[in-house]
Structure 1
Amino acid sequence: MLEKLAMLSVNTNAGALSALRNLEANHKWLETLQERIATGYKVASVKDDAAIYTIAQRMRGDLAGIRASLDSINRATVAVDVALVATESISDILIEMKGKMASLLSAQKNNDDAAAEAYTRDLDAYREQIKLMISSADFNGTNLIDSGNDIISALANSDGTETLDFNHQDLSFGGALITLTDDQEYSMEEINNSIDNVNRAMGHFGTASRRLEIQHEFASKLHDVVERGIGRMVDADLARTAADLQAAQVKEQLGILALNIANQAPNSILALFGRR
């Protein structure tokens, strides 16, 4: 009994100090677990894990770039699809014009002036409709088929160093593709040439639309992969965190009990004086 009491001191309670250190450490761990449950992150700041947080921040920057790329692709896709729809419609009208032109030539050969005049009016109406379609094929200030020189570009990576660029196709009357002029001098040769040229332009926009679709699909998958990668590094496993929280709460209760027991140890010194 005296040997045990020889290690006791009323000034320094080693057992209480040890219990207090353990209690403080567990309390900090408990606070960490509570924060993880509140935020959903196991690495919420650089103080939690400097290396992981730095990597995650860099990946978040890449993710922002990928989102910008997806937005750019979406805008380019709409502009290209508007041009594609207009070009398809113009091709259909030119085919109708070819039929009217054949009828006009037949009427002219038969000296049927009334019919020839009617067919010419139809051709004029088709020409004006094509002009209207060309001027209406505008998206966000970009028209890929008028007499201008607009091009459309889409970001192809997260840092903007690579782009998908698609050229303008001039479908205006009297241009390089639609060789018909604004006057009433229609010819079957010019209509056939215009049909062939417009169909090539249609193929150009069709290919552009498909390339943008493929790039969008790739960028979307890349976005998901990067987002999941960030989550694996910084997100908390809430199921495990909940279990750890329950264990930490039990440890805190036991730590308080251990500290109380340690604080009672100096009372044993009173036994030396015959007091309790």
Structure 2
Amino acid sequence: MNYVELSIAIKKEPNTYKKEFLKQHDYLMSILMLTRPNLIELKNVFIFILRNIIRYSNEEIENFLYTDLYIRYLKVNDIYEKYGEIKKYNFYSVILTTLSLLQNKEKIPILNELILVAKCKIISKTDLFNIYLTNGYNCEKLEEFLCEEIDAILKEFYFNQNYMEKTKRIAFFYILKYISKYNNNDKFNDILLDVIKNRENIKLHKYAIYFFNDQLDIGIKSYDNIFGNNLNFKNRFISLIHDTLLESSFDNEEYSILLDIFIKISDTGSIEIIKQLVNHSDVNKHIQRLYKLYLNARLKVIN
């Protein structure tokens, strides 16, 4: 039987074809041991394994994969872990090892298959995020696996210089998703300020300011979620937005967004920014914002 026929048979009668599944898994492991494996064959057999391992429970997988049958494959780097005298099979490491051998375009079908593997709890949510971020890949369905335990992983990938720039952008994207979902940004305050302050990565800078502007538009609850009782972070944030405005060009497309953010978070106005706006030739473009800043500054003087 070819892979399609065998997959259909396993779907109908997983227990009957368990040995055939094991043979293919055995074949996968033998390919991974080769110095120069056939990458097309590696991809095909691995996709077969991913599509069919979900037919078995975690207990069954432990029974027929976590056995001494695979001790002979200990030479494959990181595929097995040794705990004292016990050898334990690690499917997560098999995934990482396989992906490391493939070109980016060859990885995509495998990475997409992993969503269902994670849904069936063959790998954990944190494993899935690790795999996706390691390979600089993202998809809409990944957000379903966002959980509170992910924060450390997101920080690790954001700061790790060994990964591609795309990985950093994906990590930051999910940091913003994390803040929105759990109403807590205390774990990421320094990252948020750093992204706005340092414009080296324009995409991250845009992510941050558009995120804050949208959150502040939602209402008071979101304002509290962003700053909470953290007065120090709030003051640092206001100061940073103020200084960024003074240093930014009017021609910068983010200027209006930064100005909107400043108006929403500051009740003191800013004489420096008002002067900057008044002296600009295109003052009409920001006339409404200028008036709001003026009112804030005037109220502060009156109070």
Give the TM-score category using the shorter length.
under 0.3
- The TM-score, its normalising length taken from structure 1, stands at 0.20
Q: Which has the higher contact order (CA 8 A, sep 6+)?
A: 1
- The TM-score, its normalising length taken from structure 2, stands at 0.18
Structure with greater Cα Rg? 1
